[in-house]
């Protein structure tokens, strides 16, 4: 078993650290934030992730994991230091590597024996060569330090499961010493390991994420065409999914992808291509489609309503996907400010994302409009003129078609996640627009009212 230090206790670092401890390694998680370290020592997780706190507490009790701000001590005695700090996107699409550089320098100034530095953060191809050079430049002691790439594929909400039961571990190394140590560190996981060189490992991460982003944007593109030709994207996706070469996952059309990875990694690869005088047309198309997809329903509703001024607008779902409190690149962040600017009184509901959202948009009057946080979907829908669905939480899926009809002033719903059956909404008398499926137009509702419920 190895002595492992992990730099950064976000989604990547903390989950990796806890899972290494669970596999029997001795782990020290390092973070610069004292409060965060205190919280973790008392068994609390700074991120909302199923099963994480239980594993943190179990391994802390078993003395296999500790948390500290004292990086010198942690790096000095480690066999391997895993870096899991953020690489946020910069305005031009490139990755900000300053956190990695800070950690790399701290490692260089702390290590007293041969150390493997493993970069888990997503970094542009070729970065790890530079990180290694950077560490060598700042090394204080006469020791060997090699940098390896070990990209992370976890999805938020299932991070622990995705790590313990990963479909593959990618290790990118430049020596058998580094390869062997990583093979041994991952041996207890009993998972398939793909061993490649450092640059290929870095590329695998981007190529995988961007392929999934591309798959979603492709389905959104086809969905938009489905609306024009009278096809139903859900039936189309089902039909496609039986072809094993296509697969059944990531075929859901909707209001576009968000989160901490796909938006950032598509832009980063596009930037890398540009830097290398190459135009990556596929990825660029995925980015462009996603941009217009995010406000598609808002634009559609704008046409239908003429104005949002003074309207009560129910917003169901704020996070970029269910199972997380993360708002990064969430469609709600694009749409809610536009609604407020147009004078809407927004009543928003999300089972866990409200706190984070209210830090960005505090409750109360906002410009011409206002925002109120509802305790449940029903409260948000009460007397609303229009409803937008942005996240497919179970609590939101549980709203029945009849509830929209009963609760709303005008039963008019824009569903960005295709969570309701079109026929059921029609039956309930709800005017309904979703993505890539037939809509229930106002005329159909009126017709139903004229013919009565008997039909």
Read off the tokens for 36: 């965060």
* C-beta of 321 vs 426, nearer to ligand UDX: 321
Q: How far is the CB of 382 from ligand UDX (least distance, A)?
A: 27
Backbone φ and ψ for 150, nearest 5 degrees, come out as -145, 75
Q: How far is the CB of 219 from ligand UDX (least distance, A)?
A: 7
CA distances from 212 to 172, 259, 391, 407 (A): 22, 13, 19, 38
Q: How far is the CB of 386 from ligand UDX (least distance, A)?
A: 22
Q: Give the full edge-to-edge strand order of the sheet including 431-433.
A: 364-366, 369-373, 345-349, 312-316, 386-389, 412-415, 431-433
Please report, in angstroms and rounded to a whole number, the separation of the first and last CA atoms in the chain: 71
Q: How far is the CB of 240 from ligand UDX (least distance, A)?
A: 12
| Strand runs labelled E in 55-95 | 65-68, 80-83
Asked if 29 is an active-site residue, the reply is no
* C-beta of 251 vs 408, nearer to ligand UDX: 251
* C-beta of 28 vs 434, nearer to ligand UDX: 434
Contact yes or no for 214/250 (Cβ under 8 A) = no
* C-beta of 146 vs 152, nearer to ligand UDX: 152
* C-beta of 113 vs 292, nearer to ligand UDX: 292
CA distance 36 to 34: 5
Annotated catalytic residue: which of 19, 29, 226, 261? 261
Contact yes or no for 403/379 (Cβ under 8 A) = no
Contact yes or no for 312/409 (Cβ under 8 A) = yes
Q: List residues near ligand UDX by CB under 6 A.
A: 152-156, 209, 216, 250-252, 254, 257-262, 320-321
Residues 6+ apart with CB under 8 A from 140: 108, 109, 110
Q: How far is the CB of 209 from ligand UDX (least distance, A)?
A: 6
Q: Which residues are catalytic?
A: 261
């Amino acid at each position: 078993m190895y002595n492992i230090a992990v730099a950064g206790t976000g989604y990547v670092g903390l989950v990796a650290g806890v899972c290494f401890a669970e596999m029997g390694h001795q782990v020290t998680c390092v973070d610069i934030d004292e409060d965060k370290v205190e919280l973790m020592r008392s068994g609390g997780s700074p991120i909302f992730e199923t099963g994480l706190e239980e594993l943190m507490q179990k391994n802390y009790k078993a003395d296999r994991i500790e948390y500290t701000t004292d990086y010198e001590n942690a790096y000095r005695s480690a066999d391997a230091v895993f870096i899991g700090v953020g690489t946020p996107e910069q305005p031009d699409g490139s990755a900000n590597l300053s956190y990695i550089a800070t950690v790399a320098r701290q490692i260089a100034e702390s290590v007293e024996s041969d150390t493997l530095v493993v970069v888990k953060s997503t970094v542009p191809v070729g970065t790890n060569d530079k990180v290694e050079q950077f560490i060598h430049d700042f090394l204080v002691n006469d020791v060997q330090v090699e940098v390896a790439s070990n990209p992370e594929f976890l999805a938020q909400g299932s991070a622990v499961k995705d790590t313990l039961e990963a479909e593959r571990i990618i290790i990118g190394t430049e020596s058998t010493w580094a390869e062997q140590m990583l093979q041994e560190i991952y041996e207890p996981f009993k998972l398939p390991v793909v061993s490649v060189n450092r640059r290929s490992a870095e590329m695998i991460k981007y190529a995988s994420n961007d392929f999934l982003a591309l798959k979603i944007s492709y389905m959104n593109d086809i969905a938009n065409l489905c609306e024009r030709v009278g096809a139903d994207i859900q039936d189309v996706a089902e039909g496609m999914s039986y072809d094993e070469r296509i697969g059944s996952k990531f075929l859901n059309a909707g209001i576009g992808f968000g989160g901490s990875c796909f938006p950032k990694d598509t832009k980063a690869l596009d930037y890398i291509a540009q830097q290398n005088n190459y135009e990556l047309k596929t990825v660029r198309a995925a980015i462009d489609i996603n941009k217009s997809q995010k406000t598609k329903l808002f634009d559609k509703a704008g046409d239908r309503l003429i104005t949002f001024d003074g309207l009560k607008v129910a917003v169901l779902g704020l996070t970029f996907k269910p199972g997380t409190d993360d708002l990064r690149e969430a469609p709600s962040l694009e749409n809610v400010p536009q609604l407020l600017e147009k004078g809407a009184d927004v009543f928003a509901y999300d089972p866990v994302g409200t706190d984070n959202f209210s830090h960005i948009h505090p409750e109360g009057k906002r410009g011409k409009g206002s925002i109120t946080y509802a305790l449940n979907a029903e409260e948000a829908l009460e007397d609303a003129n229009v409803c937008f669905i942005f996240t497919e939480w179970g609590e939101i899926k549980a709203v029945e078609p009849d509830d929209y009809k009963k609760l709303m002033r005008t039963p008019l719903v824009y569903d960005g996640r295709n969570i309701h059956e079109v026929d059921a909404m029609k039956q309930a008398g709800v005017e309904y627009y979703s993505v890539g499926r037939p809509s229930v137009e106002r005329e159909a509702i009126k017709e139903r009212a004229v013919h009565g419920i008997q039909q």
